[in-house]
Amino acid sequence: MPYTADPGLADFVRELPKTETHLHIEGACPYELLRKLDPVKHARPPPFWDDSYRYRDGLHSFMPLYIEYCQDFFTSAERYHQASEIMLRNCAAQGCRYVETSFHLPTVLFMRDGGADVVRAIKSGAPRGLEVRVFAGMSHNDYAGAGRDLIEDSLKWPELDGLDLHGLEDIPLEPWTADVWARARLAGKFTKAHAGEFMGPDFVERILDEVKPQRIQHGVRSAESAATTARLINDGVALDVCPLSNVKLCVPGVTSLAAHPFRRLFDAGVTVTVNSDDPFFLGNTLSEEYYALHSVHGFTPAELGKVAANGFKVALLPEHVRKAHLADLAAYVTQAVLGK
């Protein structure tokens, strides 16, 4: 991604205490692990790291590449652990103190380990000082056959922090989703759903009405409707946004980063966080997301601090821990902005 920063801003962003709350572990598969597995197949960096690469048909063109590059890797809890160790080390090196990551729950159907083993394997990859929450991701049509039992079972795993509805948004939303999401909340899980990435604000409204997630992943197309934007503000539903992902996946209306609605949503008062989504398939880093907000949308260091603060505001942390992170962040930004 062609987003760089002058040394001053790069230093500011690196040390800025921040979060990552929209990160698919399979889409963050470390290249070094793929190369180790198959040095011939992965001899050259993948074409989609190129700045000009576009997934012209959105997730429909993304999924075949996932199958080609990463599906063979995620075959055991140990593999998830290996990926997690590198992914979370990278997060920590970029100043992250809190990460929410999801794994595609149905991959468990093809391995000997159980889903709770996978959750533990991911969590145990975290370096000291980094808090990690793990979400089970699933697609609109995954509640079928053995998938149904697996989803039901996942609600009983104490290690699992929440559910995330993901995958192709245009696959019909099935009635099980609202029921499972409601029971997940009763079981103490936090619930998210992808909406408003490829589908418009009507779909965001429908997800909010029926599935009632506590946070929306992407949600950027909400900006097309003043009513949906107002609802997100009034209901206190935050969006975990990934601007560089939206550009590369050709989200409708996002023809360039300049056309991305992040600034509009932020200025309107929606709680927006910034995240990297699928860094292996996007060739991006979390730091570059911050650089891009600065260089293209004119976010000042103080505003970048507010974006980072949103991440801690939505984080699944005890109140005293949240307050401590926010206080650290405020002190850091004040010192950096005042230059002393």
Q: Is 288 a catalytic site residue? A: no
Question: Are 212 and 191 a contacting pair, CB within 8 Å?
Answer: yes
H-helix segments, 187-285? 201-210, 226-235, 243-248, 262-268, 279-282
List the helix and strand counts (H, then E) for the chain: 15, 8
- Spatial neighbors of 171 by CB under 8 A, at least 6 apart, are 139, 140, 141
Residue 44: CB partners within 8 Å, gap ≥ 6?
none
Q: Is the backbone of residue 42 left (phi > 0), alpha (psi -120 to 50) or beta?
A: alpha
Cβ-proximal residues to 307 (8 Å cutoff; 6+ apart), any chain:
266, 272, 273, 274, 290, 293, 299
**Residues 288 and 277 sit within 8 Å (Cβ to Cβ):** no
- Do 2 and 51 contact (CB within 8 A), yes or no? yes
Class of residue 224 by CB neighbours under 10 A (exposed 0-12, middle 13-18, buried 19+): middle
Find the catalytic residue in 85, 197, 288, 289.
Answer: 197
Q: Give me the active site residues, please.
A: 197
